[in-house]
Amino acid sequence: MAARTVAVVLAGGLGERMGAGRPKQLIEVGGRPILAHAVAAFDAHPGIDEVLVVMAAGHLREAGVIAAPFRSVTGVVEGGATRTASTVAALRVLEQHPGDARVLFHDAARPFVEAPVIDRVLAALDGHDAVAVGVPSPDTIVVVEDGVVASMPPRETMSRFQTPQGFRLGTLRKAYELALADPALRATDDCGIVHRYLPDVPIRVVEGSERNLKVTQPLDAVVAEHLATEDPP
Ligand code: CTP
Ligand code: MG
């Protein structure tokens, strides 16, 4: 199979912090589900050949209905108990793709990812096997241990990670092979897996966007509704 560019939209979570009684990616903002916004961003992007949706067990039918109008969606698959397990479920579906295929993992809970952010990830994958999206932190971030400040990294070196995170599929596969063989594996994001298990692979960080927020708790849903209905900048 020729190398394709696949976007995996991770919607396998249950949204416990949101407390909406159903996965937060099913909540509507601006008249359509958060998941639909996220899928639409990749479906509309000319650099993406295929979109795969990973959904929480018990909500596959709802995800199928939401995904149906999007031509580039090739599947809705059942996720796992952790984000890592949901990523592994996607990697299994992508087994037939060659190692040089590009794959972008995106949080379904980020409905407002914009085309320029996706552009930057794809462009950076020409020179790197792993790419993250970051934004500067307006707050000082410190390391706290046992309730006291252990260290204060300079604020200008700090970046808040967003998604999508992009990879050459072969590199991500190798990182996950090592991770899954490690009994001490703790849940982390996909760049975290590469950083830990393939420390020699540089992870390029490109600029994200403040609009690309992750809907996590009830206040975020209020902000998301506002962003969904305002005019684009
Ligand atoms: N995710 C996933 N599979 C899981 C857990 C999370 O695909 N088992 C996805 C979520 O659906 C979300 C993204 O990973 O799009 C980021 O996770 P998070 O914001 O933590 O979402 P939830 O896990 O759903 O929320 P919470 O942690 O509050 O339960
Ligand atoms: Mg979670």
Note the pLDDT of residue 232. 59
Number of separate domains in the chain: 1
Interface ipTM: 0.99
Residue 59 confidence (pLDDT): 97
Ion ligand 2 — residues with CB under 5 Å? Answer: 13
Paired residues of 9 in beta bridges = 53, 106
Residue 2 has pLDDT above 70, yes or no: no
The model's pLDDT over 193-229, given as tens digits with 9 standing for 90+, comes to 999 999 999 999 999 999 999 999 999 999 999 999 9
Q: Is the pLDDT of residue 117 over 60?
A: yes
Closest ligand to C-alpha of residue 215 is 1
Which structural domain range is residue 105 located in?
A: 5-229
Residue 82 alpha carbon, nearest atom of ligand 1 = 8
Pocket test for ligand 1, best of 54, 76, 83 (most atoms within 8 A of CB): 83
Residue with tokens 């830990």: 196
Q: Which tokens go with 115?
A: 């085309």
pLDDT of residue 63: 98
Sequence-separated (6 or more) residues with CB below 8 Å from residue 19 = 218
Residue 188 confidence (pLDDT): 79
Determine whether the shortest distance from the Cβ of 15 to ligand 1 is under 6 A. yes
Q: Is 35 in the pocket of ligand 1 (CB under 6 A)?
A: no
User: What is the pLDDT, as a whole number, of residue 186?
Assistant: 80
pLDDT at 187: 73
Distance in Å, CA 36 to ligand 1 centroid:
16
Mean pLDDT of 59-68: 98
For every residue of 141-158, DSSP letters joined together read --EEETTEEEE---GGG-
With a CB cutoff of 8 Å and minimum separation 6, the contacts of 44 are 115
Model confidence pLDDT, tens digit, residues 31-60: 999 999 999 999 999 999 999 999 999 999
Q: Structure pTM?
A: 0.96
Q: Examine residue 164 and say whether the peptide bond preceding it is cis (omega within 30 degrees of 0).
A: yes
In whole angstroms, give the CA distance from residue 197 to residue 56. Answer: 27
CATH number of the domain that residue 52 is part of? 3.90.550.10
| Ligand 1 pocket, residue 61 CB under 6 Å | no
pLDDT of residue 3: 82
Contact by Cβ (8 Å): 36, 231: no
Residues 6 or more apart whose CB falls under 8 angstroms from that of 143 comprise 149, 150, 151, 152, 153
